[in-house]
Structure 1
Amino acid sequence: MATPVLFLCIFVLSFGTLNILVAVMVERISVITADRRTHAEQARVRMEAYMLESMVEDLHANDKDGSGDISQKEFKKIIRIPGLVKKLGLLGITIEEAESLFDIMDVNHSGTVTPEEFIAGLQK
């Protein structure tokens, strides 16, 4: 009679131990996944900030008249520069969307925006 009880105790203890091990592994995997998501989000934010800053530099560098403001005509030329097209694409913005954003960001209807205003508009 002691043998079946012993086997039952061994079975229950083994099952309980295995259950605890699986729970610890699942918890650890959950923590690792959360850390990776956090790191990925931080990397995305850093990359986006770098891209936006780089775009400001590109807009300033291509301001042909040196006024500090980008006219719509200048802007349409600038956003077709391959490097800027790629940066906009990485931010999920097409050339057509960028052109329409220019009109929205030109709140005083002067026909110009500063690079900083344009980038601020992209961030919204």
Structure 2
Amino acid sequence: MKNNSILKYGYLMKSLLLNEEEPIYGKYGMLRKQFLKEHRSAKYQYLLLTGKLTEHLNQIDQEARKQVEILMEQMVKKQGATEELKAQDQMKWVRLMINIKSSAEEIVVKNTIYM
């Protein structure tokens, strides 16, 4: 928090401004925010009042995106979703990729967002 004095109506008054980052978080940051509001309200209030909420949500969103990407790469190799399969049977490849992404997101949401 920044403490700035402002002159208003001839009086010097304190102005409390939160020094927060720009919100750049997406899906995972929004899920984390909702989770904190509903299930960890003390932590949510602390982060909000100290001006660290946006920074926390940006960080969680970035970490979750990286984890999903890493898990998807591992699952693609393990389950054989190759370019060859894509060329031979595109619909099978699409279904496999959708399942892989859903599985990776489920793991990340459970282990990162809802912790």
Mark yes or no: TM-score above 0.5: no
More strand by share: 2
Report which of the two structures shows the higher radius of gyration computed on alpha carbons: 1
Normalising by structure 2, report the TM-score: 0.41
Normalising by structure 1, report the TM-score: 0.39
